[in-house]
Chains A and B, each alone.
Chain A
Amino acid sequence: MKWIGILFALMALVIGLVPQFTNCSAQGRAIQLPDGRSMPMKCHWTANATPVIAAPLLVAGILLFFSRGQEARRGLSLLGSILGFAAILLPTWLIGVCANDEMVCRLAMEPTLIFSGTVSAAAGLFGLFLARKNPAGNVD
């Protein structure tokens, strides 16, 4: 179970940090309006939202690493799984990324979030299974 906690923490760091450097605004790109002003692209808002998922996932990972109770492990695994799904939904459905396939957010940020989200969600579901399977509490 401890390794799932470590995995959650690692994925949380990836989800929280990588989008900050791989969104189009970080690369100096913005939408130029006809009146001369510039506006951030969609991926900028997705990158801004990722710490909201990464922070609780990091906390869940740390707590899971130290927790011993089955109930707590079940709850934290479920939480990690839900946050993983949320990380997938951010670039694909909730906010989105730029439309152009060649933009850095499409090439790096979107796949990173989907990858980390999938790994977190799968690990969380596996943790849930492990915590259910051994009610005695010896699941390490």
Chain B
Amino acid sequence: MDVYRFALRNISGNPFRCLVVVLCAGITAGMLLASTLILLGAGQSLSKAIHRLGADIIVVPESAAAQVESALLLGHATNAWMPAAAVGQAAVVPGVQAVSYQIHLATLKNASCCTVSNMFLMVYDPETDFVVTSWLEKNLGTGLGLGEAVGGSNVFTPAGEKNIKVYGYPITLRGNMEPTGTGLDSSLFLTLETALEIARESVIRAEAPLVIPEGSISTIMIKVRPEYDIGSVARQVAARIPAVKALAAPEMFQSQRAELEGLRNGVILLLVITTGFSLVLVGLVFSMALNERRRELGVVRAIGAPRSFVFRTLLVEAGFLGFQGGAAGSAITILALILFRRLIIATYGIPFLTPSLPMMMILIAGSLTGSLSGVLLAALIPAYRISHEDPTIAMRE
């Protein structure tokens, strides 16, 4: 009888032991995969959001800096404004290469005049913009006309409709940007001309008019000359314009980064505890099971099976169980993370992007290897001990 068939027969002979080992391996693999996916996805998401915002420095109203940062990440408009004159003040700061501004708006909640309820609208000025326009020219070849918009990766025109209604005004979706995993994926980017037209028409078309405060803007986007230090330019901008906060791109989303750091420490601690307990439990279960099977294994040895056969059989058993548990744990974790992604984002306020398929495969392989080697390690000592025992003593006991 070969090692594999013998191991499989042993596995089917003791379902409870197998279930415990499979559960432990599944929990280890699942925890390993979930923590890696969330932490990696959250880090990627923050980097992509900074890249999508596209500026070296973002200037926001000082009183609502944290709110605006969180709003940009989760895709919610805030009611924080600053005077449009601040754009001119920022432009004269040494080291500033380009300056533009954005106005953040939202569609009405649960209103029939808006296809999507409470959708984040990011309005830019095409004459000065260096963020959306460059993406448009690269991907669509032209800028946006009146009544046109580009959306995040989750924005689409409803089936059977030709346009997306914003305050009753029909908007043509020209294209979608790459996913970032943040609220920007559910946002609509449109020109100032279109936003003003929507505001004008909303008086007669919408349940409530769109109000764009005159002479007010939401954020200023600054591009810094390559030879200048972004941090020092940000400090100068903040010193020159009253009641604003200038956030250098590398320093953005600090509260989210701090939260992520806290989460990382917690997850690592939990992972160590769970994995440790699982391995101890697997080792204990194997020790008990092998103690019960001493006579049986003694007989196997007595009829001529070498030590290496018994040792290999026990490790193959552990390997089979570890692989089964690891595969089931990984599959359930992936399913749960994909399905509950929005709930996790809403609960913790940290967006995370599901990694690409090749990356996912690498992570699954990693967690499988982790759980498999854990189970093998836990089974190694009991397997070695029992396979090196004298068969006559084993049978007598």
B38-46, B241-249, B333-341 - interface stretch? B333-341
Does B335 lie within 8 Å of A107, measured CB to CB? Answer: no
A50, CB-defined interface residue at 8 Å? no
A101, CB-defined interface residue at 8 Å? yes
> In the complex, what distance in Å separates the CA atom of A118 from the CA atom of B333?
13
Per DSSP, are chain A's interface residues mostly helix, strand or loop, or mixed?
A: helix
Does A138 lie within 8 Å of B346, measured CB to CB? Answer: no
Nearest-neighbor residue (CB-CB) of A119 within chain B: B332
How far apart are B167's CB and chain A's nearest CB, in angstroms? 17
Known: A3-B19, A140-B15. A100 touches B343 (CB 8 A): no
Provide the residues of chain B in CB contact with A3, threshold 8 Å. 15, 19
A114, CB-defined interface residue at 8 Å? yes
The one of A101, A102, A106, A118 that contacts B335, using a Cβ cutoff of 8 Å: A118
Provide the residues of chain B in CB contact with A101, threshold 8 Å. 186, 342
> In the complex, what distance in Å separates the CA atom of A118 from the CA atom of B117?
30
The one of A102, A107, A119, A140 that contacts B118, using a Cβ cutoff of 8 Å: A102
Does A115 lie within 8 Å of B343, measured CB to CB? Answer: no
Per DSSP, are chain B's interface residues mostly helix, strand or loop, or mixed?
A: helix
Does A115 lie within 8 Å of B336, measured CB to CB? Answer: yes
How far apart are B99's CB and chain A's nearest CB, in angstroms? 34
Q: Mark B12-49, 1 if CB is under 8 A from A, else 0.
A: 10010001000000000000000000000000000000
> In the complex, what distance in Å separates the CA atom of A102 from the CA atom of B347?
11
Q: Mark B302-346, 1 if CB is under 8 A from A, else 0.
A: 000000000000000000000000000000100110011011001
Residue with the greatest number of chain B CB neighbours at <10 A, chosen from A2, A107, A138: A107
> In the complex, what distance in Å separates the CA atom of A46 from the CA atom of B19?
34
User: How many A residues have CB within 8 A of the partner chain?
Assistant: 16
Provide the residues of chain B in CB contact with A107, threshold 8 Å. 342-343, 346
> In the complex, what distance in Å separates the CA atom of A138 from the CA atom of B15?
11
Does B343 lie within 8 Å of A111, measured CB to CB? Answer: yes
A108, CB-defined interface residue at 8 Å? yes
Provide the residues of chain A in CB contact with B343, threshold 8 Å. 107-108, 111
Provide the residues of chain B in CB contact with A111, threshold 8 Å. 339-340, 342-343
Does A2 lie within 8 Å of B15, measured CB to CB? Answer: yes
How far apart are A13's CB and chain B's nearest CB, in angstroms? 17
Q: Mark B95-120, 1 if CB is under 8 A from A, else 0.
A: 00000000000000010000001100
Q: Which of B325-375 contact A (CB under 8 A)?
A: 332, 335-336, 339-340, 342-343, 346
Provide the residues of chain A in CB contact with B336, threshold 8 Å. 115
Q: Which of A86-131 contact B (CB under 8 A)?
A: 99-102, 106-108, 111, 114-115, 118-119
**A→B interface (CB under 8 Å):** 2-3, 99-102, 106-108, 111, 114-115, 118-119, 138, 140
Please name 15 further chain A to chain B contacts, defined as beta carbons within 8 Å, in addition to the given A111-B339, A140-B12, sorted by A numbering.
A100-B110, A100-B118, A101-B186, A101-B342, A102-B118, A102-B346, A107-B342, A111-B342, A115-B335, A115-B336, A115-B340, A118-B335, A119-B335, A138-B12, A140-B15
Instruction: List 23 A-B residue pairs with CB atoms under 8 Å apart, sorted by A's residue number.
Output: A2-B15, A3-B15, A99-B117, A100-B110, A100-B117, A100-B118, A101-B186, A102-B118, A102-B346, A107-B342, A107-B343, A107-B346, A108-B343, A111-B340, A111-B342, A111-B343, A114-B339, A115-B339, A119-B332, A119-B335, A138-B12, A140-B12, A140-B15
Q: Closest 5 CB pairs between A and B?
A: A111-B339, A140-B15, A107-B343, A111-B340, A100-B117
